[in-house]
């Protein structure tokens, strides 16, 4: 009897343990399959960029050969690494980087200041202003793009870096994000600093900004990706290689009659790298900001 | 210190002088599209022109092909039209009607004008004043490509000239036979993969329908109702829908290379002249070039490509014309165009092109230009005509009712024309 009492739970525990292990294996397998599916286009892109025959790339696309290259070559990368002339992809990459850094840095300053004022500033009609900011967010960019082109051209900004930075520095979404983040911080922080005689700008700069790393990371990544992937706007307002970004330059590979898949793939890989670096640099805070907002919510 | 100050003053003076000199140059803006090869070719011609004309600066403005119209609209709105612009031939009437282009005859070298093929003249001519508003080195056409091995296996007749093109009965009979042939997955690739964002459907399918007695719009009354949704069009599009239903046509999802892809799953391809370079590179001598089939009583083929015009707002039209003449005569530019199997729009270019000259592998394609080419409707409403038509065809190919889709398209076109009061003076063209 005692044996029976002792052995029954043990066998149950083993069975339960086995069950858990099998479940974990199934879960891991599922995750692995999903991960493979998610990563396969990127892998395919990387492999295709190492093939130097655009017809081969096309022919391989529908089969597993798309994931294999027998004689890898960097010739596509060499082809696009020019820094001057109409096909200066190195130059375009540099242009995109300048636009990204300038947009993100100035965007962080402007939007965080606006968010801070909306959260803690002694403004009249703050609620209305906030409602207006949120209302602005629902207006699609495409609907104002043509009037914006006319404005920028009248300001004489066509074909400059400024025309690709200025319109996108202030954004209702990021103002609202900062507002939400600042508003959640304890009121006592502001009051204590104020009692110590700190000005509003000092409180913003020395207390609230250092505390808002997750918000800064989130906005940096979102703004960075948005700026990096801009296509229609720079197409409309840039003319020459002086300020043309990489996204517009890559479109050169997609001609009316033929597509240069080989070089387009190599340029796409190069285009992907800075955004990946940006994400990897900020992802810890980026994730924590999303987790934090979910928990707080 | 004094020396440094002196050299700074001299340097500044030199800079100011250089800036002044740069400002004295006449700047000609040239807006164009194209893949890297063409972009480089245009850039090289511009550099050669600048070297020959030191007082002129050619600024090339690249606009991506798929966003060309948006870029053009932005330039119009911002009043920043370039001096020279590349434009898609069927949009010419709309641009001239809108006042964006000026007649180029007095601005282009006479020997070039005399060298133009009839089809090239047709694509650059505005029907109201019959004046020439654009000129190009090239033109275009669509032919029927065949896989020699498969055609021999079914005993198909290979036409040797435009005059003995396949009839509808022959064409459908061969499609049926090919559908049963081992190794053939689809009898024909009509390049549905180009989608409805390009001009392909109107450009390539339009002539097949015209051959069957249909047209996109009545070219005298400029009314689509009664023509586009008439019996001939409904019958012709039902015929094409039937090909799709029978599984004879490569589906959109399979891309645009099934004719020469691994295993060559498509036996025929209704492709542009530019497709020859890709197909022959992959299939060598196994490619046969044939004229488009005659669906009805007459054969019809498309024409028209990207051509060059001078904007009405250009402050230096003579220099712009001089550059265009220089571009179209440039030897290296022509050499590059040859490597791209560019379809000749100038007689001298045709004669020098081994592909299109008599006996060349694409001679049949060039023969179509003088015998069967019909331009797309040269009307200011063309942007609406093509968009409505392409959406209708797409619906029909995806199983929609032909009559219903064409009636909706015709209505949309007529409404646009009515909204613009008939686009006078087109309303008087009866």
What would the DSSP string read from start to end of A269-287?
HHHHHHHHHHHHHHHHHHH
Is residue B155 predicted with pLDDT exceeding 50? yes
Rounded percentage of chain B residues whose pLDDT exceeds 70: 94
Phi, psi dihedrals of residue B237, rounded to the nearest 5°:
-75, -30
In the structure encoding, which two tokens stand for residue B324, read together?
A: 């265009």
Interval A211-259: pLDDT, tens: 998 899 999 999 999 999 999 999 999 988 889 999 999 998 888 777 8
* Mean pLDDT of the A187-201 span: 91
- Across chain A, mean pLDDT equals 87
Residues A111 and A117 sit within 8 Å (Cβ to Cβ) = no
Instruction: Please report the pLDDT score of residue A88 as a whole number.
Output: 80
Residue with the larger pLDDT of the pair B254 and A247: A247
Please name every residue paired with B144 in a beta bridge, in sequence order, or none if there are none: B270, B290
Residue with the larger pLDDT of the pair B242 and A3: B242
| Closest to B160 (Cα-Cα) out of B176, B179, B146, B142 | B146
Instruction: Please report the pLDDT score of residue A48 as a whole number.
Output: 93
Coil, strand or helix at A125: coil
Residue entry with tokens 């932005």: B74
* Mean pLDDT of the B80-106 span: 96
Residues B133 and B124 sit within 8 Å (Cβ to Cβ) = yes
Q: How far apart are CA B173 and CA A105, in angstroms?
A: 67
Check if A5 contacts B (Cβ < 8 Å).
Answer: no
For residue B35, give the nearest of A150, A240, A253 by CB distance: A253
Residue of B nearest to A153 (CA): B78
**ipTM (interface predicted TM):** 0.79
Closest CA of chain B from A214, distance in Å: 37
Check if A191 contacts B (Cβ < 8 Å).
Answer: no
For residue B78, the chain A residues in CB contact (below 8 A) are: 149-150, 152-154, 158
The chain B residues in contact with chain A (CB within 8 A) are 29, 33-36, 38-40, 42-43, 59-67, 70-71, 73-74, 77-80, 198, 254-255, 257, 260-262, 272, 274-275, 278, 281-282, 306, 340
Q: How confident is the model at residue B429 (pLDDT cuts 50, 70, 90)?
A: low
Phi, psi dihedrals of residue A69, rounded to the nearest 5°:
-130, 120
Residue with the larger pLDDT of the pair B82 and A85: B82
- Across chain B, mean pLDDT equals 92
Poorest-confidence range of A60-64, B40-44, B169-173? A60-64
Q: How confident is the model at residue B328 (pLDDT cuts 50, 70, 90)?
A: very high
Instruction: Please report the pLDDT score of residue A47 as a whole number.
Output: 94
Q: How confident is the model at residue A115 (pLDDT cuts 50, 70, 90)?
A: very high
Contact B39 A87 (CB under 8 A): yes
Coil, strand or helix at B210: helix
Is residue B174 predicted with pLDDT exceeding 70? yes
Please name every residue paired with B116 in a beta bridge, in sequence order, or none if there are none: B346
Closest CA of chain B from A234, distance in Å: 10
Instruction: Please report the pLDDT score of residue A80 as a whole number.
Output: 84
* Distance set, CA B169 to CA B175, B205, B239, B380 (Å): 10, 18, 12, 37
Q: How far apart are CA A200 and CA B122, in angstroms?
A: 71
* Mean pLDDT of the B361-390 span: 95
Closest CA of chain B from A29, distance in Å: 30
Contact B35 A254 (CB under 8 A): yes
Poorest-confidence range of A40-49, A57-66, B6-15, B291-300? B6-15
Instruction: Please report the pLDDT score of residue A291 as a whole number.
Output: 60
| Closest to B141 (Cα-Cα) out of B307, B362, B357 | B362
Q: How far apart are CA A190 and CA A192, in angstroms?
A: 6
Contact B40 A256 (CB under 8 A): no
Interval A3-13: pLDDT, tens: 444 455 666 66
For residue A232, give the nearest of B29, B43, B70 by CB distance: B70
Q: How confident is the model at residue B361 (pLDDT cuts 50, 70, 90)?
A: very high
Instruction: Please report the pLDDT score of residue A17 as a whole number.
Output: 75
Instruction: Please report the pLDDT score of residue B79 as a whole number.
Output: 92
Residues A220 and A102 sit within 8 Å (Cβ to Cβ) = no
Coil, strand or helix at B119: helix
Q: Is the peptide bond before B425 cis (omega within 30 degrees of 0)?
A: yes
- B62, B142, B263, B274: best mutation site toward chain A, by most A Cβ within 10 Å? B62
Is residue B4 predicted with pLDDT exceeding 70? no
Q: How far apart are CA B184 and CA B178, in angstroms?
A: 7
Residues B91 and B382 sit within 8 Å (Cβ to Cβ) = yes
Residue of A nearest to B305 (CA): A256
Q: How confident is the model at residue B16 (pLDDT cuts 50, 70, 90)?
A: very low
Instruction: Please report the pLDDT score of residue B21 as a whole number.
Output: 47
Instruction: Please report the pLDDT score of residue B257 as a whole number.
Output: 78
Residues B65 and B102 sit within 8 Å (Cβ to Cβ) = no
Instruction: Please report the pLDDT score of residue A276 as a whole number.
Output: 87
Is residue B254 predicted with pLDDT exceeding 50? yes
For residue B65, give the nearest of A232, A244, A255 by CB distance: A255
Interval A39-83: pLDDT, tens: 999 999 999 999 988 777 877 777 788 899 988 999 999 888 877
For residue B78, give the nearest of A59, A153, A232 by CB distance: A153
For residue B38, the chain A residues in CB contact (below 8 A) are: 255
* Mean pLDDT of the B283-311 span: 96
Residues B390 and B372 sit within 8 Å (Cβ to Cβ) = no
Sign of CA dihedral B221, B224, B228, B229: negative
Check if A142 contacts B (Cβ < 8 Å).
Answer: no
For residue A151, the chain B residues in CB contact (below 8 A) are: none
Closest CA of chain A from B430, distance in Å: 35
Instruction: Please report the pLDDT score of residue B193 as a whole number.
Output: 85
Is residue B39 predicted with pLDDT exceeding 70? yes
* Mean pLDDT of the A77-104 span: 86
Instruction: Please report the pLDDT score of residue B298 as a whole number.
Output: 94
For residue A152, the chain B residues in CB contact (below 8 A) are: 78
Cα B395 off chain centre by = 24
Instruction: Please report the pLDDT score of residue B430 as a whole number.
Output: 57
Interval B187-231: pLDDT, tens: 999 999 888 878 899 999 999 999 999 999 999 999 999 999 999
For residue A154, the chain B residues in CB contact (below 8 A) are: 78
| Closest to B388 (Cα-Cα) out of B411, B360, B354, B364 | B411
Closest CA of chain B from A258, distance in Å: 8
Closest CA of chain A from B52, distance in Å: 19
Check if A244 contacts B (Cβ < 8 Å).
Answer: yes
- A256, A262, A265, A266: best mutation site toward chain B, by most B Cβ within 10 Å? A256
Is residue A117 predicted with pLDDT exceeding 70? yes
């Amino acid at each position: 009897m005692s044996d029976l009492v002792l052995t029954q739970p043990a066998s149950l525990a083993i069975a339960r343990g086995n069950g858990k292990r099998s479940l974990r294996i199934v879960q891991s397998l599922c995750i692995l399959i999903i991960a493979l599916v998610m990563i396969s286009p990127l892998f395919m892109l990387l492999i295709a960029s190492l093939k130097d025959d655009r017809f081969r790339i096309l022919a391989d696309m529908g089969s597993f050969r798309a994931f294999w290259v027998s004689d890898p070559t960097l010739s596509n990368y060499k082809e696009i690494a020019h820094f001057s002339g109409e096909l200066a992809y190195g130059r375009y990459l540099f242009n995109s980087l300048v636009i990204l850094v300038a947009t993100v840095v100035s965007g962080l300053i402007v939007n965080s200041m606006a968010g801070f004022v909306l959260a803690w500033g002694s403004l009249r009609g703050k609620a209305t202003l906030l409602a207006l900011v949120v209302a602005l967010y629902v207006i699609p960019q495409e609907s104002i793009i043509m009037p914006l082109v006319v404005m920028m051209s009248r300001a004489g900004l066509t074909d400059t870096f400024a025309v690709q930075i200025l319109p996108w520095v202030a954004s209702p979404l990021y103002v609202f994000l900062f507002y939400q983040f600042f508003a959640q911080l304890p009121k006592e922080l502001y009051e204590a600093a104020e009692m110590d005689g700190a000005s509003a700008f000092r409180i913003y700069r020395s207390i609230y900004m250092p505390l808002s790393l997750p918000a800064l990371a989130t906005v940096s990544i979102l703004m960075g990706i948005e700026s990096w992937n801009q296509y229609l706007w720079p197409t409309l307002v840039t003319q020459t290689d002086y300020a043309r970004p990489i996204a517009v330059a890559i479109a050169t590979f997609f001609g009316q009659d033929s597509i240069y898949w080989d070089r387009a793939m190599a340029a796409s890989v190069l285009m992907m790298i800075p955004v990946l670096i940006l994400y990897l640099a900020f992802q810890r805070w980026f994730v924590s900001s999303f987790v934090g907002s979910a928990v707080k919510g | 210190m004094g020396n440094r100050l002196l050299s700074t003053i001299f340097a500044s003076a030199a800079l100011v002088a250089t800036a002044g000199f740069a400002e004295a140059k006449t700047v000609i803006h040239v807006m164009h599209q194209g893949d890297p090869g063409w972009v480089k070719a245009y850039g090289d011609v511009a550099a050669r022109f600048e070297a020959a004309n030191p007082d002129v600066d050619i600024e090339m403005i690249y606009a991506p092909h798929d966003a060309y119209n948006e870029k053009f609209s932005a330039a119009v709105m911002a009043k920043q039209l370039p001096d020279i612009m590349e434009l898609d031939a069927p949009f010419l009437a709309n641009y001239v009607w809108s006042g964006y282009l000026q007649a180029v005859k007095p601005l282009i070298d006479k020997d070039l004008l005399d060298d133009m093929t009839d089809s090239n003249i047709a694509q650059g001519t505005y029907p109201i004043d019959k004046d020439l508003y654009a000129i190009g080195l090239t033109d275009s056409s669509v032919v029927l490509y065949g896989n020699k091995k498969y055609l021999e296996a079914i005993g198909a007749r290979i036409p040797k000239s435009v005059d003995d093109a396949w009839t509808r009965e022959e064409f459908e009979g061969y499609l049926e036979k090919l559908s049963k042939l081992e190794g053939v997955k689809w009898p024909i690739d009509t390049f549905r993969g180009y989608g409805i964002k390009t001009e392909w459907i109107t450009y390539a399918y339009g002539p097949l329908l015209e051959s069957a007695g249909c047209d996109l719009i009545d070219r005298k009354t400029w009314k689509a109702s009664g023509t586009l949704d008439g019996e001939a069009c409904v019958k012709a599009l039902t015929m094409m829908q039937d090909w799709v239903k029978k599984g004879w046509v490569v589906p959109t999802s399979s891309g645009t290379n099934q004719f020469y892809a691994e295993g060559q799953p498509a036996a025929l391809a209704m492709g542009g002249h530019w497709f020859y370079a890709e197909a022959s590179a992959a299939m060598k001598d196994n490619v046969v070039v044939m004229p488009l089939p005659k669906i009805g009583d007459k054969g019809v083929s498309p024409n028209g490509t990207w051509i060059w015009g001078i904007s009405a707002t250009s402050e230096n039209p003579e220099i712009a014309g001089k550059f265009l003449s220089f571009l179209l005569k440039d030897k290296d530019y022509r050499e590059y165009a040859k490597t791209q199997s560019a379809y000749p729009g100038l007689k001298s270019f045709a004669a020098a092109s081994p592909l299109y000259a008599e006996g060349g592998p694409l001679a049949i394609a060039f023969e179509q230009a003088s015998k069967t080419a019909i331009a797309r409707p040269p009307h200011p409403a063309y942007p609406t005509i093509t968009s409505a038509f392409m959406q209708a065809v797409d619906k029909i190919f995806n199983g929609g009712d032909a009559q219903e889709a064409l009636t909706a398209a015709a209505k949309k076109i007529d409404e646009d024309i009515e909204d613009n009061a008939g686009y006078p003076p087109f309303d008087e063209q009866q």
